Amino acid sequence: MPASRNIPTLIAALALAIVILFPVYWMFVTSLLPTTIVLTRDPPLLPPLASASFAAYGEVFARRPVLTWFLNSVAVTSGSVVIALLASTLAGYSLSRYRTRGQQAAGFVLLLSKMLPPTLIVIPFFIMFTTFGMIDSLVGLMLANAAVGVPFASWLLKGFFDGIPQELEQAAMIDGCSEMGALWRITMPLARPGMAASAVYLAIVAWADFVFARTLVSKPDNWLLTVGLQSFIGEHAVDWTMLMAAGSLSLLPVLVLFLLLEPFLVSGMTQGAVTS
Amino acid sequence: MRRPLLAYALLSPAIVAVAFLIGYPIWLAVDVSLREGRTMNILRLDRLPRGWGNYARILDEPANWDALVRSAIYVVGSVTPAFLIGLGLALLLNRAFPGRRWIRSLMMLPWAVPGVVTSIAFLWLLDGSYGVVNSLLRRTGLLEGDIAWYARQETAMLAVIVPTVWKGFPFFALTLLAAMQAIPHQLYEAARIDGASPIDLFRHVTWPGIRGPGLLAVTLHSLWVFKELDIIFAATGGGPAGATETLALRVYLEAFQFFRLGSASALGLMMMALCAILVLLSLPRMRARFF
């Protein structure tokens, strides 16, 4: 059956998508509504649009340093993505083009990183950061997040470099290009989709970080958004509209990344799970 | 091959990162796990005597065995439904229909939502007083009164499993979908000509094609769930009365609530050993993927 006429499947898929996305929808809807509607025993599933407003966002900004947390998260995420991407692009290229001990080691390190509980690695991080006076340092958080991302990103990028024929570089070198020049001018531009996939992957993982952020930073002004969000919960009465507003805000960058770069993300997630 | 010097030069930033930020920390964790006694000053950890005391104490402590059982329930309870939902979605998304690319993207969104955010979204959905889930269950007649899902010992584990499944199924859906798309069309056509029913097609064509990647995905995802902290920590912190206290959570509480870094490290390293056993069991598949 041609795709355009397969309407029953489309309807089934849409219905499923609605169920799947309901938690996100509900978070956003709650953030828009006044408490009088939110705190009822049987809240309406389709909210009255007339009473929707962004008031809770203004309130949460005024009462908590949500904007500071948001910017801290942005800084740590971008910093760790840049560091990790730089190291893993070079490593991925090297692993793809040269036979060194690095190949076996890379597979081993990747497996190791999959087995390493974040709650364990954060203990020596805490000791090291205390020793070097790096507690409360956002740079320290960047390094910690970059480190856990490097093994996977290197290996992901190796896969992309494997797909770029070496002959292209050799041809450039015959035409008088240096080895680094060939890497820079020929291979890198071709590897951009791979770098985009790795960057999105690294960004989503760093943006979600909670264990490092909660342990290695203590001053509320240095918190990341995830830590700030969690701090709403311990209180006696949770202010749900404010919490859902802050939560929706934390999803904004994720949504942007996701909708803009989704094709790259999919290739990043499935790369290697299926040997092609 | 070509200049090995350049090969290692390009590798060096990654080697430095891995050596200083993964290798050394693991060594440090091993060292700390062998230090007996407690000190409030972590800069003096290395003055404590060495010994196997922490490991002995961990194995003696019944709460750790309870946590191991809870971890097993959490992993099996989260991975199984996530796999089945992912499989169902992959089968659906493997069919051609208008707007497939967009719907696929939307369905994958939960994977990208941070664990803490997932957790607070479900805390609100499953809230005992104003939660919309209770309301829906009451309106459909499935429930008489309200349930405080996270506050009751019998339901708390289920209430942390649900968000874990929600965050986990897209990984299976994508992996299995990619595997399905790698199955040659001719196999389906040939089977259809031989009069195979849709169930036959699934059992004899689709399943053999997705079994390998599927098992690998189950292994990797189980490791992830076993180590997962964010969802449980934000939702219940291990409570009520330890009902959701998994091993991963115990490691964290032991280290940063009770400040016993030694036994926390020892427990974390034992978790890693358990992960290694799981990996060794599926090594043939791992080898194909990583080496």
For residues A19 and A109, state if they share a domain: no
For residue A274, list its beta bridge partners.
A271
Any idea what the CATH number is for the domain that residue A159 is in? 1.10.3720.10
**Residue B240, pLDDT above cutoff 70:** yes
For residues A119 and A249, state if they share a domain: yes
For residues A228 and A142, state if they share a domain: yes
Q: Which fold has domain B62-290?
A: MetI-like fold (1.10.3720)
For residues A232 and A128, state if they share a domain: yes
A67: CB partners within 8 A, 6+ apart? A61
pLDDT band at B39 (very low <50, low <70, confident <90, very high): low
Query: If you average pLDDT over residues A64-80, what whole number do you get?
Result: 93
**Residue A266, pLDDT above cutoff 70:** no
For residues A189 and A266, state if they share a domain: yes
Full residue range of the structural domain in which residue A207 is found: 65-270
pLDDT band at A4 (very low <50, low <70, confident <90, very high): low
**Residue B222, pLDDT above cutoff 80:** yes
Task: Examine residue A76 and state whether it is found in any structural domain, yes or no.
Answer: yes
For residues A138 and A264, state if they share a domain: yes
B168: CB partners within 8 A, 6+ apart? B78, B79, B82, B86, B111, B221, B224, B225
CA distance B206 to B90: 11
pLDDT of residue B72: 95
Q: Which residue has the higher pLDDT, A47 or A209?
A: A209
Q: What is the 3-state secondary structure (H, E, C) of A96-134?
A: HHCCCCHHHHHHHHHHHHHHCCHHHHHHHHHHHHHHCCC
Number of CB atoms found within 10 A of residue A275's CB: 13
pLDDT of residue A2: 59
CA-based nearest distance A65→chain B, Å = 17
**Residue B285, pLDDT above cutoff 80:** no
Domain ranges in chain B are 62-290
**Residue B103, pLDDT above cutoff 50:** yes
pLDDT of residue A176: 80
**Residue B44, pLDDT above cutoff 80:** no
Q: Which residue has the higher pLDDT, A262 or B33?
A: B33
pLDDT of residue B1: 47
For residues A188 and A116, state if they share a domain: yes
Query: If you average pLDDT over residues B261-269, what whole number do you get?
Result: 92
Crossing angle of the two packed helices A240-270 and A192-208, in degrees rounded to 10: 150
pLDDT of residue B87: 95
Residues 56-115, chain B, touching A (beta carbon < 8 A): 89, 92-93, 95-100, 103-115
For residues A87 and A134, state if they share a domain: yes
Q: Do the beta carbons of residue B168 and residue B221 sit within 8 Å?
A: yes
Q: Do the beta carbons of residue B98 and residue A3 sit within 8 Å?
A: yes
> Which chain A residues have a beta carbon less than 8 Å from that of B288?
275
CA distance B21 to A124: 9
pLDDT of residue A272: 46
> Which chain B residues have a beta carbon less than 8 Å from that of A139?
none
**Residue B11, pLDDT above cutoff 90:** no
How many structural domains compose chain A?
2
Task: Examine residue A60 and state whether it is found in any structural domain, yes or no.
Answer: no
CA distance A236 to A163: 55
Q: pLDDT tens-digit profile of B179-213?
A: 898 888 888 889 889 888 889 889 988 998 898 88
Q: pLDDT tens-digit profile of A160-179?
A: 888 888 888 888 888 888 87
Residues 159-198, chain A, touching B (beta carbon < 8 A): 179
pLDDT band at B83 (very low <50, low <70, confident <90, very high): very high
pLDDT of residue B26: 92
> Which chain B residues have a beta carbon less than 8 Å from that of A125?
25
- Quick check: A121 and B26 CB within 8 A? yes
For residues A26 and A152, state if they share a domain: no
**Residue A126, pLDDT above cutoff 70:** yes
- Mean pLDDT over each residue of chain A, to the nearest integer: 85
pLDDT of residue A273: 43
**Residue B101, pLDDT above cutoff 70:** yes
**Residue A247, pLDDT above cutoff 60:** yes
- Quick check: A100 and B255 CB within 8 A? no
Number of CB atoms found within 10 A of residue B261's CB: 24
pLDDT band at B291 (very low <50, low <70, confident <90, very high): low
CA distance A87 to A82: 9
CA distance A235 to A186: 56
pLDDT band at A80 (very low <50, low <70, confident <90, very high): very high
Task: Examine residue A225 and state whether it is found in any structural domain, yes or no.
Answer: yes
For residues A25 and A159, state if they share a domain: no
Which of B118, B216, B233 minimises the CB distance to A273? B216
Q: Using CA coordinates, name the residue in chain B closest to A226.
A: B116
For residues A164 and A239, state if they share a domain: yes
Q: Find, among A25, A78, A32, the residue nearest to A55 by Cα.
A: A32
Dihedral (CA of B67, B70, B76, B81) sign: negative
Which of A16, A86, A273 minimises the CB distance to B213? A273
Q: In a mutagenesis test of the B interface, which of A119, A243, A255 is the best target, namely the one with the most B β-carbons within 10 Å?
A: A119
B27: CB partners within 8 A, 6+ apart? none
Residues 117-156, chain B, touching A (beta carbon < 8 A): 117-118, 120-125, 127, 129-130, 132, 135, 138-139
pLDDT band at B40 (very low <50, low <70, confident <90, very high): low
Task: Examine residue A59 and state whether it is found in any structural domain, yes or no.
Answer: no
For residues A49 and A69, state if they share a domain: no
Q: Which of A51-55, A258-262, B254-258 has the lowest mean pLDDT?
A: A258-262
Query: If you average pLDDT over residues A135-141, what whole number do you get?
Result: 91
**Residue B132, pLDDT above cutoff 70:** yes
Q: What are phi and psi of A34, to 5 degrees?
A: -70, 155
**Residue A276, pLDDT above cutoff 50:** no
| Percent of all residues in chain A with a pLDDT value above 70, rounded to a whole number | 92
pLDDT of residue B119: 94
| Percent of all residues in chain B with a pLDDT value above 70, rounded to a whole number | 93
Q: pLDDT tens-digit profile of A95-119?
A: 888 877 777 788 888 888 888 999 9
Q: What are phi and psi of A271, to 5 degrees?
A: -50, 125
Q: Which residue has the higher pLDDT, B269 or A4?
A: B269
Q: Which residue has the higher pLDDT, A99 or B251?
A: B251
Q: pLDDT tens-digit profile of B138-179?
A: 888 888 888 888 888 889 999 999 999 999 999 999 889 988
> Which chain B residues have a beta carbon less than 8 Å from that of A257?
112
Query: If you average pLDDT over residues B73-90, what whole number do you get?
Result: 95
* pTM of the complete model: 0.89
pLDDT band at A263 (very low <50, low <70, confident <90, very high): low
